[in-house]
Amino acid sequence: MDLPRHQLLARARLAEHQHGAVGDGDLVDAAHHLLHGRAVADHPDGRIGALDVAPQLLVLAAQAAVGERAIVTTGPPDPLLSIDNRVTTAPKGARRDLSIHRGLNENTITILGSIAVDDRGYTGGIGISHPGLLFVYMLRSSLAQKGVTVTGASRVDGSATALENEIATLQSPPFSVIAAQTLKPSQNLYTELILRTLGKVAPPPPPATTTSNLPQTSDELGLEAVKSFLKTVGLRPEALVLDDASGLSRNDMITADASVQLLTFMSKHRYATVFRDALPIGGVDGTLRNRFKGTPAENNVRAKTGSLSSAASLGGYLTTAGGEKLAFSIMVNNYPRDLDPRSSCIDPITVLLASFAGKATDDATTVH
């Protein structure tokens, strides 16, 4: 069984005497907003809005000679972005030491440190400070490659004015595909866009649930829809606090018990197989591709990872050596800076659960 298709990607429209692309139906968010509950340093994926671009790829490689400036490349091309490269090539065997910084709402990324001459290179993602403008730039570039000339300055308009003359429509893949592309690599940007789409397509909450006279944004409506679903799961309101979709907000809070309750509910849901298949597989793919290899959890555990500067978690499903299926949640926080909770706590516990050859008692059918 597959989830229904939703048109998540915007229609492109061309207005008379005006050239530009707008998000269909969600133009208010085109101005792009910072995410709730985050400090300046907590915004790796830039801003969220109706027009978005996935984080850019940053590749850093050493030069052939020690002392020379390292090589930095990024993509896709961003005319707004500039790189201040201060990374030098270090002697063979030296430890990689990199620091990447970009101020809030700035277009210059400063990279400091060193990388060894024999280092295989660093690859990472960098957020987009003005994704709407980059979206329009990439659209114009694609049109130009096809012989379509667009004149006039590119701009992103936050007003929801109706435009005419639709020129193209792109249907999204089934949501099962989008879910896997979100959960397996832990793509935070996708979670925020899905939340806002949910806020546009889900039935609005009753008027009594709103406390403000201002119209609710698509992310606020999305959170209302999520909370409504969690009520059907049976979760108590005090069991969690939701402030965004990715879980990166410092205001987000949830217990391991609530996670197991949700996982148990989803194991009996009509889309249980779709949900399970979207999770990373231990030792196989996603954020778990390099974990659990050579253990009973390899190609067995299917779970979502979570990682912040002072918290790490893993929650999902596995089958024990005794043949029982478990829903589990492991959360570790406030650990010492020199401790890796994955290798010292989370992974050993997960392997221990997968190795269990006994049978659970009637009052211990879930582990958390």
User: Where residue 310 sits, what CATH number does that domain have?
Assistant: 3.40.710.10
The type of residue at 64 is: A
Report yes or no on 194 lying in a domain.
no
pTM of the model: 0.76
| 285 shares its domain with 266 | yes
The answer on pLDDT for 86 being more than 90 is: yes
| 319 shares its domain with 277 | yes
Query: What's the pLDDT band for 47 if we cut at 50, 70, 90?
Result: low
Q: What confidence tens digit (pLDDT) does each residue in 141-191 have?
A: 888 888 888 888 877 766 555 556 677 777 889 999 999 999 999 988 889
| 154 shares its domain with 274 | no
Which among 214, 166, 161 has a CA at the least distance from the CA of 27? 161
Report yes or no on 84 lying in a domain.
yes
Backbone angles phi, psi at 24, to 5 degrees: -70, 115
Report yes or no on 160 lying in a domain.
yes
Q: Is residue 258 exposed (0-12), middle (13-18) or buried (19+ Cβ within 10 Å)?
A: buried
Which among 237, 239, 304, 233 has a CA at the least distance from the CA of 265? 233
pLDDT of residue 138: 85
Task: Tell me the residue range of the domain where 33 lies.
Answer: 12-52+130-168
The type of residue at 1 is: M
Assigned token pair, 347: 């992974």
Q: Compute CA 121 distance to the chain's CA centroid, rounded to the nearest angstrom.
A: 24
pLDDT mean across residues, the chain: 81
Helix 256-267 and helix 218-233, axial crossing angle in degrees, nearest 10:
80
Q: What confidence tens digit (pLDDT) does each residue in 53-70 have?
A: 777 778 888 888 999 999
| 272 shares its domain with 150 | no
| 28 shares its domain with 160 | yes
Q: Is residue 310 exposed (0-12), middle (13-18) or buried (19+ Cβ within 10 Å)?
A: exposed
In angstroms, the Cα distances linking 219 to 43, 136, 200, 212 are 17, 23, 9, 15
Assigned token pair, 83: 């790189």
The domain boundary, picked from 112, 145, 168, lies at 168
> β-pairing, 108-116 with 82-90?
parallel
- The rounded distance, in Å, linking the Cα atoms of 21 and 142 is 13
| 163 shares its domain with 285 | no
pLDDT of residue 69: 93
> β-pairing, 166-168 with 325-333?
unpaired
CB-CB contact of 52 with 194 (8 Å)? no
| 163 shares its domain with 278 | no
- The rounded distance, in Å, linking the Cα atoms of 85 and 95 is 18
The total domain count for the chain is 3
Report yes or no on 346 lying in a domain.
yes
The domain boundary, picked from 125, 146, 177, lies at 125
pLDDT of residue 162: 58
pLDDT of residue 283: 96
| 280 shares its domain with 365 | yes
| 263 shares its domain with 354 | yes
Report yes or no on 1 lying in a domain.
no
| 263 shares its domain with 312 | yes
| 157 shares its domain with 20 | yes
Q: What confidence tens digit (pLDDT) does each residue in 219-278 have?
A: 889 999 999 999 999 998 888 899 888 888 888 899 999 999 999 999 999 999 999 999
| 156 shares its domain with 265 | no
pLDDT of residue 200: 87
Sign of the Cα pseudo-torsion (286, 289, 292, 298, in order): positive
